[in-house]
Amino acid sequence: MALSSKTGFTKQQRYLLLVALFAVIAGLVFYGIFKSNLSSPKKDKLTREQAAQDILAESATSTISFLNGLEVPLASASSCVAIMIDNAPEVERQFGLNKASLVYEAPVEGGRTRFMAVYGLATSTVATIGPVRSARPYFLDWVQELGCLYAHVGGSNEALEKIKNLEINDLNEFYNGGYFWRNKKYTAPHNTFTDIETLAQAWEKTGNKDEQRVIKSWLFAKKEAKILPAGINYFEEQIGDLKVSWSFDQNLKKWKRFVNNKAAKDNVGTITAKNVVFQYVWGEVLDEVGRLSLQTIGSGRAVILKEGNVIEGRWEKKSAGSRTRFFGPDTKEMEFNPGLIWVEVATKISEGY
């Protein structure tokens, strides 16, 4: 019997073989699809969502500032400077407070108060800041938790020693005069000023000693309430020898600052803030000059002013380098509105000397 082909298969056999091979491949493909459909849809959804988040993270060019919750460039989000600003009775008006991201006000000797204004160097463009004054030791606990460059003119012996021991990223005008200037219109020591552009140069030159450190942000609302709830829209407290009060403006959706019943102003107008916190701490007079020690580490009462409401809460700071946290009456961490946050440090003083 003659062979039908050199391969030993007839044309019909080869056709049947191809059909069988195609059927096997199709079956395998169908099985793979069927098995995939049997997998957890939740797992598949999470995988897709994670992939999307990874793509967004890689392409992100901005982030939320840990200082005030506003959008800032990602590459320079951690760059910031904390500046000691004069509030002596001799000072007619401060410069740059309204443009800060975060402001601390605390008592110093003689019943006076002093400001520490904090600016994000990535987005601020303030032309004049001051008058710049001297360092005090308890302000350094807030500098530590922020990792900022610290700008000041001299300081108490305790503060200067603390700066040295803690290796604060320091910019003392005594040794870095090129980053400050004296305005002859004002009398010393209330005549030293600086600006953001100059301070940004100092940041680049000195380098941030905590550049690898991730600063944990406060919580910020993604969206402000459109209809503000009715509430107590006024609060006052004694800070040093000053009666400091804040009143909520419904039109501006901001709190206005008053000192001894008069509107407080800086060089651009009435001082306002999106959020105000009164932090109550224990204090002690250290000497006859009146220098103070304030208990900034630990916990205590806090009053938070937000969206026209006065909210009783608490503060907590576990160590000098950890962030101070603020909590509402429900013990949940407070969520601030993006914008300037003003921290008023109110003290109960005992004379320890």
Residues 6+ apart with CB under 8 A from 11: 4, 5
Which residues is 193 bridged to in the sheet?
181
Query: Is residue 38, in this structure, part of any structural domain at all?
Result: no
Which residues is 85 bridged to in the sheet?
115, 132
Query: Is residue 88, in this structure, part of any structural domain at all?
Result: yes
Query: Is residue 43, in this structure, part of any structural domain at all?
Result: no
Query: Is residue 249, in this structure, part of any structural domain at all?
Result: yes
Q: How many domains does the chain have?
A: 1
Of 198, 202, 194, which Cα lies nearest the Cα of 95? Answer: 194
Query: Is residue 337, in this structure, part of any structural domain at all?
Result: yes
CATH number of the structural domain spanning residue 296: 3.50.90.10
Residues 6+ apart with CB under 8 A from 83: 116, 117, 118, 119, 129, 130, 132, 151, 152, 194, 199
Q: What is the extent of the structural domain holding 297?
A: 79-351
| Local structure of residue 111 (DSSP, 8 states) | G
Chunked into runs of 10 residues, the chain (353 residues) has average pLDDT values of 50 67 66 54 55 50 92 83 97 96 96 96 92 97 95 96 94 97 95 97 77 80 72 90 96 96 97 98 84 92 95 96 96 96 89 50
| pTM of the shown model | 0.81
Which residues is 318 bridged to in the sheet?
none
pLDDT, position 289:
77
pLDDT, position 260:
96
Query: Is residue 254, in this structure, part of any structural domain at all?
Result: yes
Residues 6+ apart with CB under 8 A from 262: none
C-alpha distances in Å from residue 165, one per residue of 24, 137, 140, 144, 182: 76, 12, 11, 12, 29
Query: Is residue 42, in this structure, part of any structural domain at all?
Result: no
| Local structure of residue 6 (DSSP, 8 states) | T
Query: Is residue 170, in this structure, part of any structural domain at all?
Result: yes
CA dist., res. 319 & res. 296, Å (int): 9
